[in-house]
Structure 1
Amino acid sequence: MPEAGNTLTLETTQGPVVIEMRPDLAPGHVEHIKKLVAEKFYDGIVFHRVIEGFMAQTGCPHGTGTGGSKYPNLKAEFNAEPHVRGVCSMARAQDPNSANSQFFIVFADARFLDRQYTVWGKVTSGMENVDKIKRGEPVRDPDKIISATVS
């Protein structure tokens, strides 16, 4: 059972997605995500990059993959947690310390990402809703996060 205060629920246009956040793996990232959720940053944000058999990416305020929050980028917290179906990991640019607000949920094993991207959680229910998110790069008429809450 997840520790109290580390359950992230995303109400999406495809249905709810529940994520167990893992501060034991990435304390700085989990703290940052909680701060953004408290500020309602993710409410209304689209899944802008969704690649069949790979992942669904969200968290860009512009809906294009080019933006982040008003806060400084995060220091990488790479860990040994494998990128397998349902894992939530931070998106970043070439610089390992460039993650900010964008993250992705993997559809299938993507072990080539291991120890190069910060894993901070895993979907515990609603993965069938992640599977229904519209695909594309960019996505036409994208699905979105209606609201995000932490409990």
Structure 2
Amino acid sequence: MRLKTSQFLLSLVIISALMLGGCSTQQLASNPSSPTSTATSTTNDTEIKTTTEATSVSQTSSESIPGITDLPRLEGKATVVLTVKGSPITIEVDGTDAPITAGNFVDLVQKGVYDGLAFHRVVRDPQPFVVQGGDPQSKDPKVPADRLGTGSYIDPKTRNARYIPLEVKAKGSDTPTYNKPFDATAQAVVLPHKLGAVAMARSQAPDSASAQFYIALADLAFLDGNYAVFGNVTQGFDVVNKIKQGDRIDSAKVTQGAENLKIPGQ
């Protein structure tokens, strides 16, 4: 994708904003991030560079993706309804093209993780960007606002954070690719960042997504291949457009497709 100079500079700023706000590079590896307009980390070549190297889903049982066999998987599609300030937002979750990312999201919805969480970043200026939420820390109103955007889902059984690998499926491919971003200008993705796309936020480390997600407020093609889209808003985008920073998710429910969620060991 070729951009005019002003657009290119804006893209660099926004991609830098897709990293964890207020933390060092060392902290980014252990504290997954999300789209933000206040990040202090500096964009460098390694943060915006893309590559075609990735791991195929056919290798997911190998050590190339440690722990992936222990992650929830969505085999097919599901519908999730987020209720915000009493109004519903319907999301079609795509486990066909993003089984691990979709499975993680649906599993967290089923566990009630998103109930009561805040949208801690809403970026509409200088142009529409994203609405972001899902930091488990935001359930506690006493957590300082400058800490939001740094939290992960902590598995109560292991007491460890659950992270999922970057998962992006290219058009023409039978399976997603994992672990590393790739150049989507050379090969289009099946689930692009279109208006209403729902995707996982992460830090600099490709495999650092956990619970935080964002909804695209515009077409954001420059993010394709770098962040994992796993669904789309199909109804209630007018509600998304009214979300303000600090608004909370009243509830998140799986209304269809719950049977497509597969939990290892169950």
TM-score by length of 1: 0.90
1:12 matched to 2:96? The reply is no
- Does 2:214 match 1:104? yes
Relative to 1, partners in 2 of residues 1:5 and 1:22: Cα closer, same or farther, differing over 3 Å? closer
Aligned to 1:82: 192
Partner of 1:147: 251
Query: Could you tell me how far apart the structure 2 residues matched to 1:65 and 1:108 are?
Result: 21
What CA distance in whole angstroms lies between the structure 1 residues aligned with 2:199 and 2:86?
Answer: 20
Contact 2:133 2:213 survives alignment (8 Å): yes
From 43, 55, 69, the equivalent of 2:115 is 43
Please point out which of 232, 249, 256 is paired with 1:122: 232
| RMSD, aligned α-carbons | 1.5
Q: Does 1:55 align with 2:130?
A: yes
TM-score, normalisation: structure 2: 0.52
Amino acid at match of 2:201: A
Moved over 6 A (4+): none
Counterpart of 2:104 (choices 5, 22, 32) is 32
Kindly name which structure, 1 or 2, has the bigger radius of gyration based on alpha carbons.
2
Q: Secondary structure at the match of 1:28?
A: helix
Q: Which structure: greater strand fraction?
A: 1
**Matched pairs, number:** 143
Letter in 2 for 1:68: S
1:60-96 deviation line (CA, Å, top 9, x unaligned): 0123111011142001102312101100000000011
- What residue identity is the alignment partner of 1:90? M
Counterpart position of 1:91: 201
The alignment-based identity, stated in percent, is 41
**Any unmatched runs of 5+ in structure 2?**
1-74, 139-147, 156-161, 170-188, 256-266
Quick one: distance in 2 between partners of 1:23 and 1:12? 24
Change in CA separation of 1:42 and 1:67 when aligned onto 2, cut-off 3 Å:
same
Q: How far has the Cα of 1:30 moved from its partner?
A: 1.2
Structure 1: unaligned runs, 5 residues or longer: none
Question: By how many angstroms is 1:145 displaced?
Answer: 0.6
Match of 2:184 in 1: none
Which of 93, 99, 110 is the equivalent residue of 1:21?
93
Which is richer in helix? 2
SS state at 2:203 partner: coil
SS state at 2:136 partner: coil
For the residue of structure 2 that corresponds to 1:149, the secondary structure is strand
* Larger RCO: 1 or 2 (CA < 8 Å, sep 6+): 1
